[in-house]
Chains A and B, each alone.
Chain A
Amino acid sequence: MNPRIEEALTTLGDEVLVRKAQEDDDRAFGELVSRYETKVYSLALKMVRNPEDAEDVLQDTFLRAYRGIKSFKGNSTFSTWIYRITANSALMRLRKKQLPTVSIEDADEREAPVSIADWSPGPVDQLLNQELQQVMDEAIEALPAEFRQVFVLRDIEEISNAEVAEILDLSVAAVKSRLHRARLKVRNRLAAYFNENQKQKRAMGAQR
């Protein structure tokens, strides 16, 4: 391997690397892998919620990208394209596990009583403990796959509505609607936890 070529590749932009990869330059594709593998893995993990499945999604994503690189037209950026493959691969995996899908048009976002005023908006760092982290994980796991995709991309990866729409091949309006419902569902799970916490604290106080 020529170290000078390796070094040169890292300085090239995604577009140039894509073009080279389309011309069968496997080292250029390798550089794209190095550049995006952690992001793809991280996105996959947040969607499928376990390391084994996340690694499967990672491998599946880059295999498909490798096979399909010549059909990539450059209408979107490479990162949008690779995220789209990742999101689809993760969704397929979740469907295999028969997670509830969005077709259940339930309206349970509003069922929780709004006795959530006690949920004091203190500093985030003070609230974040292991127990809450677990509740947060469970809240994501309870989301139907299509809601989870949008929530992870928007609120964890902090990708814009417009780009999420492109990644998931949805309208911006659909992204916003799913995001809002996902947020409310997640919020309701956390609210239930905070309320329960509060009750326990009060009960403990009354015992004394």
Chain B
Amino acid sequence: MTCKEVLDALSDYLDADMKEEVVTEMRRHIGVCSDCRAEFDTLSMTIKLYKHESATSMPDGCHDRLVKILEIEKLKLKPGSTKTES
């Protein structure tokens, strides 16, 4: 495997989405080639960092505004219908 082939296949390697023979070859190459090892380390680190992105919650009032907009749409689409409370 050339360095270019290794670089092109890095994402599949990191995602464990490749054939066992290729994995072995990749592992061997990364073990001896410092350039490709740096590529591997930094790419896997990048992915790890983003996995830590915190979960978001909706801002105040966001839910109520959404419900209101859907309520207006309902009256437009189904003019005969009454409010949810019926």
Footprint of B on A, CB under 8 Å?
Answer: 1, 24, 26-27, 29-30, 33, 37-38, 41-42, 45-46, 51, 55, 58-59, 62-63, 66-67, 110, 114, 116-117, 119, 121, 124, 127-128, 132, 136, 151, 155-156, 158, 161, 176, 179-180, 183-184, 186-187, 190-191
Contact = CB atoms under 8 A, between A and B. Distances in A.
Nearest to B63: A37
Given A38-B58, A59-B65, A161-B15, A183 B41 contact: no
A55 B11 contact: no
Q: Interface size class for chain B?
A: 35 or more
A55 B65 contact: yes
Contacts of B15: 161
A128 B46 CA distance: 11
Main secondary structure of the interface of A (DSSP, over half): helix
A26 B84 contact: yes
Given A183-B43, A190-B42, A42 B52 contact: no
Given A45-B56, A156-B50, A183-B46, A66 B62 contact: no
B12 interface: yes
A35 to B, nearest CB: 12
Contact of A42 (B55, B66, B85): B55
A41 to B, nearest CB: 5
